[in-house]
């Protein structure tokens, strides 16, 4: 009851950073074999936040993200979207690039617009923009198998961003990349997030990524997946950038998350 009043208060606050986008209540999910994947998961998603879901492999992070996206119905619980439904402009970045091998890079990036029924002229324009933004302008006509792993992920990210997402769901998108590429993607993602002012839900098993990227982290415990702890970070004084990776603030964030992850096991 107390919680509900607090929700109403934040709604009144309007489009501040703390305004609610969605609220999950008592989400539970079991697999066909009877294994409980998620149990009683409740948390709010606030507009404009960078929310990481941190947990070991097999703790149901991906399942939770798919439930949030509406791809999987939960067995119990509800998701209340503040605007009535999940934003139409939702981007999803998967663990693998998941590009269509039969389609050019441009056609792959354009796919969401085609599925949403966006008119051809707008779609062509935005595809060109997206190619340029992601540094793939020379590869629009190339096919996925001609791209390197990093470039494939770049195309996958461009495909998620082409809808100008208000909500961006990411499922360990950079896990398969080498560290140098991952750092670069992390910085680019932060820049995009600040610029687009969208809400990001970022599933990861890396405390480093969660410490670097998020404004708030939910630490999940495994089998069944539940929210063990919530950790908020204040904006870093000097901003988050390459220097931040070696700062004491970053180190303390990593320690905090590592300890929380340890406790959650």
Residues that bind other proteins (CB under 8 A): 66, 69-71, 90, 92, 94-96, 98, 100-103, 111-112, 114-116, 143-145
What's the gap between Cα 146 and its chain centre?
27
CA distance 239 to 62: 29
Q: Which is nearer to other proteins, 95 or 258 (CB)?
A: 95
Q: Which is nearer to other proteins, 112 or 211 (CB)?
A: 112
CA distance 205 to 35: 21
Q: Which is nearer to other proteins, 86 or 256 (CB)?
A: 86
Q: Which is nearer to other proteins, 68 or 257 (CB)?
A: 68
Q: What is the smallest separation between the CB atom of 154 and other proteins, expressed in angstroms?
A: 16
Query: What are the helix (H) ranges across the chain?
Result: 2-12, 61-69, 105-116, 120-133, 149-161, 179-196, 207-213, 248-264
What backbone torsions phi and psi does residue 51 show, to the nearest 5 degrees? Answer: -105, 120
Residue 219: strand pairing partners: 54, 229
Q: Which is nearer to other proteins, 143 or 183 (CB)?
A: 143
Q: What is the smallest separation between the CB atom of 115 and other proteins, expressed in angstroms?
A: 4
Contact 166, 89 (CB under 8 A): yes
Q: Which is nearer to other proteins, 111 or 236 (CB)?
A: 111
Closest CA to 38 of 71, 67, 17, 10: 67
Read out DSSP for 192-233?
A: HHHHHT-EEEEEES-HHHHHHH-SEEEEEETTTBEEEEEEE-
Q: What is the smallest separation between the CB atom of 128 and other proteins, expressed in angstroms?
A: 20
Residue 230: strand pairing partners: 218
């Amino acid at each position: 009851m107390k919680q509900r009043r607090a929700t109403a208060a934040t709604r009144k606050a309007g489009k501040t950073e703390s305004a609610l986008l969605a609220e999950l209540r008592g989400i539970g999910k079991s697999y066909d074999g009877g294994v409980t994947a998620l149990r009683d998961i409740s948390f709010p998603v606030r507009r404009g936040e960078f929310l990481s879901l941190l947990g070991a492999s097999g703790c149901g992070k991906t399942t939770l993200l798919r439930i949030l996206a509406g791809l999987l119905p939960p067995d119990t619980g509800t998701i209340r979207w503040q605007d009535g439904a999940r934003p139409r402009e939702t981007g999803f970045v998967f663990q693998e690039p998941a590009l269509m091998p039969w389609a050019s890079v441009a056609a792959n990036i354009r796919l969401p617009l085609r599925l949403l029924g966006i008119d051809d002229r707008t779609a062509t324009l935005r595809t060109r923009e997206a190619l340029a933004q992601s540094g793939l302008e020379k590869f629009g006509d190339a096919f996925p198998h001609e791209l390197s792993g990093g470039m494939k992920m770049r195309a996958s990210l461009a495909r998620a961003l082409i809808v100008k997402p208000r909500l961006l769901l990411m499922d360990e998108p950079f896990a398969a990349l080498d560290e140098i590429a991952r750092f670069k993607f992390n910085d680019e993602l932060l820049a995009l997030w600040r610029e687009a002012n969208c809400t990001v839900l970022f599933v990861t098993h890396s405390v480093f990524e969660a410490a670097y990227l998020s404004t708030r982290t939910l630490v999940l415990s495994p089998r069944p997946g539940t929210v063990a702890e919530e950790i908020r970070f204040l904006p870093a004084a000097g901003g988050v950038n390459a220097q931040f990776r070696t700062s004491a603030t970053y180190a303390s964030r990593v320690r905090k998350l590592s300890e929380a992850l340890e406790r959650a096991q």
